[in-house]
Amino acid sequence: MSRVTHSHLENALATQQPAAGPTLDDRLAALALTDKVRLLTGATPFTLHAADTAGLRSLVLSDGPAGVRGPNGDPAETAASFPSPTALAATWDVDAAARLGALFAREARRHGVDVVLAPVVNLQRTPVGGRHFECFSEDPLLTGRMAAALVKALQERGVAACVKHFVANDSETARTEYIAQVDERTLREVYLAPFELTVKEAGAWSIMAAYNGVDDGVEEATSTEHHHLIVDVLKNEWGFDGVVMSDWLAARSTVATANGGLDLVMPGPGGPWEDALVQAVHDGLVGEDVIDDKVRRILRLAGRVGGLDGAENVLDTADLGGTREILRELAARSTVVLKDDGGRIPRGIEDVRTVALIGPNATDAFTQGGGSAYVWPDLQVTPLDGLRAALGGDVEIRVERGGYARPHAPRLDVKGRAIDPETGLPGIRLEIRDATGTVIDSRVHDGENGWWYVTPEAATARLTATVELQEPGEHWLGVGTVGAHRTRIGGVLTGESTIRAGSEVLLNSSVNSPADSGRAVAVAAPVTVDIDVDLQIVDAEAYGRFVRAELRHRLPGRTDEEEIAAAVEAARDADLTVLVVGTNSQVESEGWDRPDLDLPGRQDELVRRVLKVTDRAIVVVNAGAPVLLPWLADAGTVLWTWFPGQECGHALADVLFGRTEPAGRLPWTLPARFEDVPVPDAIPDGKFIAYREGVHIGHRGWLRDGVEPALPFGHGLGWTDWEYTDLHVEDTAEGEVLLDVTVRNTGARPGREVVQAYLEPCEDDADRPVRALGGFAVAEAAPGESTTARLRLAARAFQIWDTGSHAWITPAGRYRVRVGRSVTDLRLDAHVTRTR
């Protein structure tokens, strides 16, 4: 078994014994079969059962890819909002990943969380994938190295990581149904590789089994039942001694999941285990030794996070620095300079007297993605906030949206416009009825949540409100909901469905941004409009039963054309134009895949028209996954800021005005045309998604096809220039190759360079990448200064998975190592010879 130890506590647990007290086997022996099985299903959606006889307290789990959400699901329980994982990967800096891992631990303890459901190490197989922003990269090595550093730092502080989603969970379309067909070599070399790194290099304490199934040529099964991948590979071959838990509601069988290696069913209560698993043991279908192994793993996890015998982990992060400062620096450093003709950044503040801040994402910044990655942020610094703080009050900032870019209308201002029809008080009335139609609960809600949990007796619901429309012009009113409903607005039937919804609305995230129906209302003088909606109760199994209805309202106002024209005028006269375009939460989210890579709305037109009137525009792309930039050749300066988290505006100002270098590099390939993308969709063919591209994921596919993208993997300019002057190669006895790369900062500012090493195979091999990332490192230097970066190419970089022997082998021959600034901007090379 290969493991990494992290502390005195972990050293004790490596022998399956907590730091003090009974051994894990002693604790296990104190439990009856029913007690043991009880521990294997969650007590609630995000907590586990306690067992006093074993000295086990309840453990708390919470979502965490971009911060640690409060486990109680209360919007009042706010959290620090981190830059997205792809933003972290854009730093290409494992030290930054470790620092963020330590911050994850601090946030977890702040919220009483023992297990953070992160990181996501699935790969960005296709740029349209809905959870693209939750993943690190299209490259398995970059993903694995960054994730391992984060996991190690998190767990060193006594908080568990749950690495997810095991495995080939790279699409959102029909994600609970499809089977990924991945050949054995591709699975080993690409999709399992990041998981293997987090287990062997970081000693991950838990892993989440995915919704989808996998056909790896050995076994076809859902991920929660896949004995070959979970037991044979993960646990036996890699020596994983932690807990394998199901994704929420992913476990659907009793015997197959138990014997397939799953250790924990989530969420709880309920699910396929509990009493059914006890019966399966009595019937001889599942051995009690199988149950014991699962319980032992949960006890081991509890020991690692301080959950045995009332132990408390003391978390020391005093040397970490302030949370806001860390997140601000990370958001700025991860920014990628796609283009900067003429050196427009950084700008001198003294040269700026008027600023045009333009774009849908300038007024409505997209700071974090939708779905389980979302946290209710402690605060949110808008682009206007950031620019105002940096420039002071003497600078005039004119803000123009330049058109509405969201698919759905904004939420109705319930407190300001809605009236309860019964009492006349502000708010909306929600009636809950039982199966006989009798009203069992009726109350006024004056908030904007639109998501209400109900008791088991509830059968149907009715929402009513009177909406005040005062402004003259055309208003639009609508209601977004899920499942069976009947919607009447102003006495007119605007939407109706008899199709009932269940827990799938949580799994596909349609509940977060539900489709709507509505109507336009012409207003000459103030009027009131009645909204009346009959709603089904959604039974989401262990998540509970709830009603979902979001009231939406679009005010009269300028047309998109008028807004664009105003934005152009603002840009024409400004000293500095900052044009922020991008996606939004109704476009990029867990639960659905995008149909294309276009910017929503008329944003491309907005950019083109602004660029025609000013050469001082800095275009900022606020998106997590690739979007097409058809105006890229016409723009002087283009920045990519990802989902930057709560410090969005400060980080943008830091980049624009020279406080922090935008030192990011693309962790994926930016397409020029959608039709060039190697894997353009994520749609199952029947029940299967065939990974026909094999190992040629992302930039590997672009190189194989010989197609030039808009910008290559690894690209990023920073704000200085670099010369590569020397490459020294050293073989080690362990089969690694160490590269010492000397670079010189030839620009006028201090800077950070991401030195990248790529490996080309010793002979033509259609089943091997044309060029694969082998190693990377960050170098820093002052103007005119040279520095040497050391890169490590692991022995695995030279290996392939041999399907005949089912083992790793190293093809003999002469390999070419190429070093440079991106996968195509290569400055130095050398050759390395390998023998079998």
- Give residue-wise pLDDT tens across range 258-312: 999 999 999 999 999 999 999 999 999 999 999 999 999 999 999 999 999 977 6
pLDDT for 101 equals 97
In the structure, what pLDDT confidence band is assigned to residue 75 with cuts at 50, 70 and 90? confident
Find the CATH number of the domain harbouring 541: 2.60.120.380
> 313-322, 430-439, 607-616, 792-801: which has the minimum mean pLDDT?
313-322
Q: How many residues does the chain have?
A: 836
Place of tokens 């089969």: 735
Specify burial of residue 437 (Cβ count, 10 A radius: 0-12, 13-18, 19+). Answer: exposed
Quick one: tokens of 25?
């086997």
What value does the CA radius of gyration of the chain take, rounded to a whole number of Å? 28
Distance CA 627, CA 582 (A): 8
- pLDDT of 472 strictly over 80: yes
Is the pLDDT score of 361 beyond 90? yes
Which phi-psi region, left, alpha or beta, contains residue 284 (left: φ > 0; alpha: ψ -120 to 50)? left
The total number of structural domains in the chain stands at 4
Q: Tell me what the pLDDT averaged over the chain comes to.
A: 93
Q: List Cβ neighbours of 828 (8 Å cut-off, separation of 6 or more).
A: 724, 726, 727, 741, 818, 819, 820
How confident is the model at residue 2, as a pLDDT? 29
Residues 203-226: what's their mean pLDDT?
97
Q: What pLDDT score does 508 carry?
A: 66
Residues 625 and 730 both lie in one domain? no
Which one from 215, 216, 241, 247 is the annotated catalytic residue? 247
Domain annotation covers residue 33: no
Out of 257, 274, 291, pick the residue that ends a domain.
Answer: 274
> How many beta carbons lie within 10 A of that of residue 329, not counting itself?
19
Q: Same structural domain for residues 122 and 147?
A: yes
Whole-number pLDDT of residue 370: 82
Same domain, 243 and 94: yes
Give 568 or 7, the one with higher predicted confidence.
568
Kindly give the interhelix angle for 94-110 and 323-334, rounded to the nearest 10 degrees.
140
Q: Is the pLDDT of residue 315 over 80?
A: no
Domain span at residue 360? 335-407+559-680
Scan for tokens 């991945």, then name that residue: 182
Mean pLDDT across 473-490? 94
Quick check: 449 and 526 in contact, CB under 8 A?
A: no
Residue matched to tokens 């977060």: 512
| 651 and 728 inside one domain | no
d(CA 459, CA 474): 37
Phi, psi of 298 (to 5 degrees): -70, -40
Is 239 domain-assigned?
yes
For residues 550 and 567, membership in a common domain is answered with no
Q: 348: which DSSP letter?
A: P
Residue 45's CATH number? 3.20.20.300
Residue at 356 is within a domain = yes
Prior bond to 119 cis, omega within 30?
A: yes
pLDDT at 6 over 50: no
| C-alpha to C-alpha distance for 36 and 274, rounded to whole angstroms | 10
Residue 185 near residue 220, CB atoms below 8 Å? no
Query: What mean pLDDT do residues 136-157 have?
Result: 98
Cα–chain center distance at 675: 25
Clarify whether residues 475 and 548 are in a common domain.
Answer: yes
Statement: residue 9 has pLDDT above 60: no
CB atoms within 10 A of CB 680: 15
Residue pointed to by tokens 């699962």: 294
Task: Return the pLDDT at 765.
Answer: 76
Q: Is residue 820 part of a domain?
A: yes
Q: Supply the pLDDT for residue 7.
A: 34
Mean pLDDT score, 631-660: 97
**How sure is the predictor about 319, in pLDDT bands with cuts at 50, 70 and 90?**
low
- How far is 692 from 186, CA to CA, in rounded Å? 10
Question: Do residues 465 and 429 make contact, with C-beta atoms less than 8 angstroms apart?
Answer: yes
Q: In a 3-state reduction of DSSP, which class is residue 801? A: strand
In order of 34, 51, 140, 263, 268, the CA distances from 291 in angstroms are 10, 15, 34, 8, 18
Supply the DSSP string of 617-643, one letter for each residue.
EEEEEE-SS----TTGGG-SEEEE--S
Residues 501, 535: Cα–Cα separation, whole Å: 11
| Rounded CA separation 189/184 (Å) | 9
Conformation bin of residue 572: beta by default, left when phi > 0, alpha when psi is -120 to 50: alpha
Q: How many CA atoms lie within 13 A of 690 on its CB side?
A: 3
DSSP bridge pairs for 497: 485
Closest-CA residue to 203 (of 131, 270, 155): 155
Give the count of beta carbons closer than 10 Å to the beta carbon of residue 573. 12
E strands of 537-663, at which residues?
Answer: 538-539, 545-554, 576-582, 617-622, 637-640
In a domain, 762, yes or no: yes
Nearest to 173 by CA among 122, 115, 212: 212
Which of the two residues, 172 and 90, has the higher pLDDT score? 90
Alpha carbons 534 and 483: distance in angstroms, whole number:
11
- Annotated catalytic residue 275: no
SS3 label, residue 56:
strand
Cis peptide before 267, with omega less than 30 degrees from 0? yes
Give the β-pairing of 213-215 and 492-497: unpaired
Q: Using one digit for the tens of pLDDT, what is the confidence trace for 525-556?
A: 999 999 999 999 998 877 788 899 999 999 99
| CATH code, domain with 750 | 2.60.40.10
DSSP string, 100-162: HHHHHHHHHHHTT-SEEE--B-----STT-TTGGGS--SSHHHHHHHHHHHHHHHHHTT-EEE
Mean pLDDT of 86-100: 98
Q: What is the pLDDT of residue 763?
A: 79
Residues 381 and 433 reside in one and the same domain? no
Q: Is the pLDDT of residue 93 over 80?
A: yes
> Does 144 lie in the same domain as 69?
yes
Predicted TM-score (pTM) of the model is 0.93
Same-domain check for residues 70 and 191? yes
In whole angstroms, give the CA distance from residue 676 to residue 690.
19
Q: What percent of the chain has pLDDT over 90?
A: 83
On whether both 564 and 671 belong to a single domain, the answer is: yes
Closest by alpha carbon to 707, among 718, 716, 696, 717? 696
Q: Looking at the domain assignment, is residue 667 inside a domain?
A: yes
Q: Are residues 265 and 165 in the same domain?
A: yes
So what's the pLDDT on residue 18?
47
Residue 20 has pLDDT above 70, yes or no: no
Q: Give the span between the Cα atoms of 235 and 199, in whole angstroms.
A: 10
Percent of the chain at pLDDT > 70 equals 96
- Domain end position, chosen among 525, 554, 583: 554
Q: Determine the residue type at 741.
A: V
Where do we find the tokens 């004056």?
446
Whether 206 maps to a domain, the answer reads yes
Q: What is d(CA 629, CA 127) in angstroms, rounded to the nearest whole number? A: 14
Query: Interior CA angle at 532 toward 528 and 535, to 5°?
Result: 155
Token digits of residue 181: 């067909």
- From 536, 554, 572, give the residue that closes a domain: 554
| Residue 707 belongs to a domain | no
527 and 466 in a common domain: yes
